[in-house]
Chains A and B, each alone.
Chain A
Amino acid sequence: MSEIPNAPTSSNVGAADDAQHTLHLLREMLRIRRFEERCVELYSRSAIRGFLHLGIGEEACAVGVMEALTPEDAIVATYREHGHALARGLSMRATLAELEGKLEGCSRGRGGSMHLFDATSHFYGGNGIVAAGLPLAVGLALADHLQGRRRVTACFFGDGAVAEGEFHESMNLAALWHLPVLFCCENNLYAMGTALRYTESEVDLSLKASSYRIPAWEVDGMDVLAVEDAARNAAQAVLEGGGPHFLEMRTYRFRAHSMYDPDRYRDKAEIDLWKHRDPIPALTTALSERGVLSEGDLERMETEIAAEVDDAVAFADAGTNEPIEFLERFVTSDRVIA
């Protein structure tokens, strides 16, 4: 049984005294949750195929960090990226159409769940290779540095990535060249089916990060306000030339690693324990106790979100297949290979 950080105290809620903002955070998390729940159904009726990695339970990380970023900032995510995409502003329609492989998808149906891209919002996509996104983030930040552009590149990865060589190489490069990268580690205690204690000699990941002289904190990944607060401070420091920063968000996923994973490696008790710390009910309770969220408000929010999901499903199901004549397009730029 891994130790569990303390539950969010009501004081946190007070800190972000702007009630509307907190309601917004709740709505964003709820959108992600309902969207991914519907994905489970779509997958079981084969509308979504291939691999599907759900972030149900980890919504606070994506929403919290995205709130701390500006439209100019760049994002590099992983294959567990639906939440990050939606929180960054990709529409449910474009995202779900992509999951169903339709032309109307954000990557024209070529990427699928692990490769959602949106150039306008600088969402540089998921990545199917663990930790392969880290060097990209370093490069983006290097380009900013060389062109004197003031922005942050937020790079998401899981605890599994920490064991990859690229983690070491990227952290070292970012620190060595003092680059504006915000390393966001979503530590959900399992690298696919292997618990952290079986993969890392040093399980305190923020301690590991500090060995590169990179400022690093851990933060409760089940508390969206705590995540937002930590991310905002870190992003500010990075923006002001403080070099790379590292956030270790301790979180937990309530479903299997992917849609085809028997989840035998975690015992039910542990899952139930973490479910009690579900970030959505936690925030709902806190808001209703403060009298800013009535029963009716919540129901209205649920109904609106359900409608948004239904619309997205109808849009995706009605989506078209990209004509096979275009198979070779975009292998290289507007140039048809002879």
Chain B
Amino acid sequence: MSVITYREAVRQALREALLRDDRVFVMGEDVGHYGGSYAVTLGLLEEFGSERIRDTPLSESGFVGAGIGAALGGMRPIVEVMTVNFSLLALDQIMNNAASLLYMSGGQLNVPLVIRMATGAGRQVGAQHSHSLEGWFAHIPGLRILAPATVADARGMLWPALQDPDPVLIFEHAMLYNTEGELSETPEEVDIDTAAVRRVGDDVTIIAYGGTLRTALEAAEQLATDGVQCEVIDLRCLRPLDMATIRASVSRTHRMVVVDEGWRSGSLSAEIAARVSEELFYDLDAPVARVCSAEVPMPYAKHLEDEAIPQVSDVVVAVHHMVT
């Protein structure tokens, strides 16, 4: 076992994919000479050359569309959109081409493409660079949306995503790159379908993903001292949602809190709350609670940003309110 950072885990995953399959190539802004805006692709250009580690001009729609075309042409591209904030320029290519081609073509054209994006707030980089839009993309049929929250998932999810014949978007929360975790020398396979129960408990189910998993786990520890045992579920895959795991837990605890860094209205947490109220209505002993970002463009000032993002205390309060 060795302790490595989340960033290092993603780099190892990229390197493994490039070595195992020569159809794989990496494309994105500053992925080559600069070594990646989050230094994830550092060293890959020197090892694999500029044909397979391709710096692109600032043309998100262009190079994401080119990634789709290359996938149609038999490659296994990994496109890095620096952050989800810049993916808005490529939303048409992702939704109207990548996600729809197989269906529109009546099953003829697969798009085996992986797009990686950093996401989330917490670095005081202001409103335009702090979005958390996984919920938007999880709305689109035809896409698989992943949110690796642990070092093991950051290391393990890329390869199965590349084997998926359909487009897969991987969201890496910016605050996770520096976090550390244990990883065995030969990391075991991970799936990209199911949620994981990161902490077992009987009283309340807390659903989280990506950057909010740490918040949920810390809140659960605090609540344990108050005698409230929380079950923490890491979604891992935001589309399709692993409702089976959620059902199994909530039907036992009868209470659910969703921690989602997106804005509350129309967020992924809204979808989960709606499904639980549809499928588990007669198992609920308290209304579903959601801890989301405040509905504001992310402020720059630290104290304001902290106030806007879901905090441990917010989760604790939500749970307390639910178990009185």
Contact = CB atoms under 8 A, between A and B. Distances in A.
A173 B63 contact: yes
Given A132-B92, A138-B65, A176-B57, A117 B109 contact: yes
Interface stretch (A31-39, A119-127, A288-296): A119-127
B69 A136 contact: yes
Contact of A74 (B54, B73, B102, B243): B73
A74 B73 CA distance: 9
Interface in B101-146: 101-110, 141-142, 144
Contacts of B69: 76, 135-143
Contacts of B72: 124, 136, 139-140, 143
A128 interface: yes
Contacts of A168: 59
Given A107-B106, A331-B141, A140 B73 contact: yes
Interface string B67-92: 11111111101000000000000001
Nearest to A111: B104
Contacts of A108: 106-107
B61 A165 contact: yes
A200 B70 CA distance: 31
Contact of B103 (A110, A127, A170): A110
B64 interface: yes
A76 B164 CA distance: 24
Contacts of B104: 107, 110-111, 115, 117, 125
A330 B92 contact: no
A196 B72 CA distance: 33
A323 B49 CA distance: 50
Contacts of B164: 333
Interface residues of A, number: 48
B68 A139 contact: yes
Nearest to B61: A166
Contact of A173 (B62, B141, B166): B62
A164 B157 CA distance: 36
Contacts of A132: 65, 92-93, 96-97
Contact of B92 (A109, A129, A173): A129
A135 B75 contact: no
B66 interface: yes
Contacts of A142: 66, 69-70, 73, 75
A147 B109 contact: no
Nearest to A322: B106
Question: Residue among B67, B106, B142 with the most chain A CB within 10 A?
Answer: B106
Given A135-B62, A143-B72, A165-B61, A332 B144 contact: yes
Contacts of A109: 106
A154 interface: no
B56 interface: yes
Contacts of A337: 141, 240
A118 B104 CA distance: 11
Contacts of A177: 54
Contacts of A147: 23, 73-75
A287 B70 CA distance: 43
Interface of B: 23, 25, 51-52, 54, 56-57, 59, 61-75, 77, 92-93, 96-97, 101-110, 141-142, 144, 164-166, 240, 243-244
Given A119-B109, A169-B57, 8 more contacts: A118-B108, A136-B72, A136-B97, A141-B69, A142-B75, A143-B73, A173-B59, A330-B107
30 contacts: A74-B73, A108-B106, A110-B103, A111-B104, A117-B105, A119-B108, A125-B101, A125-B104, A125-B105, A125-B109, A127-B96, A128-B96, A132-B97, A135-B65, A135-B69, A136-B65, A136-B72, A136-B97, A138-B62, A139-B68, A140-B73, A141-B73, A142-B69, A146-B52, A146-B75, A330-B102, A331-B142, A332-B102, A332-B141, A332-B142
